[in-house]
Amino acid sequence: MATVVVLLHDGFYGCGTGAGVSNRRFLEVLAPHLAPQYQLVVMPVRLAEDSNEYDTRWHQAMRSLVDGVDGTVVPLDNGADGRFRFGSVANWRRLAASAERHLRIIGLDRRTLVIAFDVPFLELPGRLGRTDARVVLVPRGSSALYRRGQADLEWERECYRRMAACGTRVGLISAFMGRHLASVCGVPPTTMVRVYDGVTRSEWMDRAPAVPLPPSAIAGFMLAMGRAHPYKGFDDLLEALVLVRGIPGLPHLVLAAVTEDDEPSAYQQHLQNRVTADQLDVTVITRFSWGARGLIGHPALRAVVVPSRVEPFGRIPMEVFSHPLNSDSAVVASSAGGLAEVVLEGRTGFTFPPASPAALARAILRGLRSSPAERARLRAAGQRLVAVRYDYEANVEKFLRTVAPIEAML
């Protein structure tokens, strides 16, 4: 029997990142459609049930997905005792060693396909060396993008050199990542294969419940959300609101700058302190919740703002375009990375250069002052773009037919 092994650093025991969402969607596309001659093995970074990053309902759903196709789950050790899934290069080396041990037990013959998501597995292909198996590493970022330091960047470059030497393919989640990996990380374009992120058909029908709105947002609000890190551009957004403060009709901002931790981080406290000091009409949400994403479909939503300074792909605008209940909100996004492939000025939304609060302020005003007819036109164009270019079922199927070890995988 042929075997497909999917290795995940996020999105199995819980999820707090867009990468985790995309990892889950990949399995949701893959698992039910595998041909009978394929066995599915999922290798996630293990999380303990009392970890802040563990989500019982999420894990149960993912486990049911794998069990539904008689798949196997093999938890991996990253040296964190189940406390966290990401960590440092030291954790990633431990993770690669754990994955290598389990993969060699399974076997690496020509009927085995190994798909590893994401940077924490970079060392794995080099450890495996040349094998008869097909191996694909799908990075969702890089040290250069997130400014993790020169040492981490050099480690990544060495990992990619070893990958190229042993025949590993590199999966691209966006056209931007292809250019970035080639120019900054030295990845040969000949090793690249597309597996562009996207939206599944089920997401077009998703009506997830939303968190309750603060009273000041009921009459109308803007929404910004993402991991609580400076590269998400939340400081730029708050500075932009200072610049437009006092303009009549400016709606409340719900800022979901989140982590899975119970207590606010230093950066989250910094954001709240800025809101207080500048007397901004903003509610800061710090704890990750799927209810915040549910706000995309709220009838009082006026605009979704994505102020990222770095964005390898840009999933949030696609979630807006595909949400069944979102009908009249503007999409305002920076042109960072993959966002520029989804949000196009005057075609699907309103854009601005990253790390430019003044330009962001102007883009917000353009979005808020646009007519209902213009927003409807932009939304329709965004829906078409997502349906054609970012149909995740179609993208995954093309990817698998490119890299599958045997015919008729699906």
Would you state the pLDDT for residue 409? 59
**Which one, of 38, 120, 54, 44, lies nearest residue 75 by Cα?**
44
Residue with the larger pLDDT of the pair 264 and 35? 264
And the tokens for 133? 């198996």
Q: Is the pLDDT of residue 100 over 70?
A: yes
pLDDT (average), residues 89-114: 96
C-alpha distances in Å from residue 78, one per residue of 9, 45, 81, 219, 348: 10, 7, 8, 47, 41
Q: Is the pLDDT of residue 408 over 70?
A: no
Average pLDDT, the chain: 94
pLDDT (average), residues 295-305: 95
Would you state the pLDDT for residue 410? 58
pLDDT (average), residues 122-145: 95
**Which one, of 364, 281, 296, 282, lies nearest residue 328 by Cα?**
296
pLDDT (average), residues 321-340: 94
Would you state the pLDDT for residue 397? 92
Would you state the pLDDT for residue 339? 97
Would you state the pLDDT for residue 202? 87
Instruction: Record the pTM.
Output: 0.93
Would you state the pLDDT for residue 80? 96
pLDDT tens string 375-407: 999 999 999 999 999 999 999 999 998 987 555
Q: Quick one: CA torsion of 117, 119, 123, 129, rounded to 10 degrees? A: 40
Amino acid at residue number 213? L
Helix (H, G, I), strand (E, B) or coil at 81: coil
Would you state the pLDDT for residue 10? 94
Would you state the pLDDT for residue 405? 56
Q: 56-62 — which CB contacts under 8 Å span 24+ positions?
A: 58/13, 58/14, 58/15, 58/24, 59/12, 59/13, 59/14, 62/11, 62/12, 62/13, 62/24, 62/27
Would you state the pLDDT for residue 407? 52
Would you state the pLDDT for residue 406? 52
Q: Residues 223, 305: contact at Cβ < 8 Å?
A: yes
pLDDT tens string 246-297: 899 899 999 999 998 889 999 999 999 999 999 999 999 998 887 888 899 9
Residue 326 to residue 27: CA distance in whole angstroms: 26
Residue 275 to residue 115: CA distance in whole angstroms: 43
Handedness of CA 145, 147, 149, 152 (dihedral sign): negative
The DSSP secondary-structure symbol of 363 reads H
Helix (H, G, I), strand (E, B) or coil at 151: helix
Q: How far is CA 102 from the centre of its chain?
A: 26
Domain 2-198+391-403 and domain 204-389, same fold? Reply is yes
Would you state the pLDDT for residue 46? 97
| Phi, psi for residue 101 in degrees, rounded to 5 | -55, -45
Would you state the pLDDT for residue 57? 93
Provide, rounded to the nearest whole percent, the portion of the chain with pLDDT above 70.
Answer: 99
pLDDT (average), residues 296-308: 96
Quickly name the fold that domain 2-198+391-403 has.
Answer: Rossmann fold (3.40.50)
* 204-389 is a CATH 3.30.470.10 domain: no
- Domain residue ranges in the chain: 2-198+391-403, 204-389
Provide, rounded to the nearest whole percent, the portion of the chain with pLDDT above 90.
Answer: 84
pLDDT (average), residues 138-149: 90
Helix axes 56-67, 18-30, angle to 10 degrees: 20
pLDDT tens string 343-381: 999 999 999 999 999 999 999 999 999 999 999 999 999
Would you state the pLDDT for residue 6? 98
pLDDT (average), residues 77-103: 96
pLDDT (average), residues 233-241: 98
Is residue 206 very low, low, confident or very high in pLDDT (cuts 50, 70, 90)?
A: confident
Q: Is the pLDDT of residue 316 over 60?
A: yes
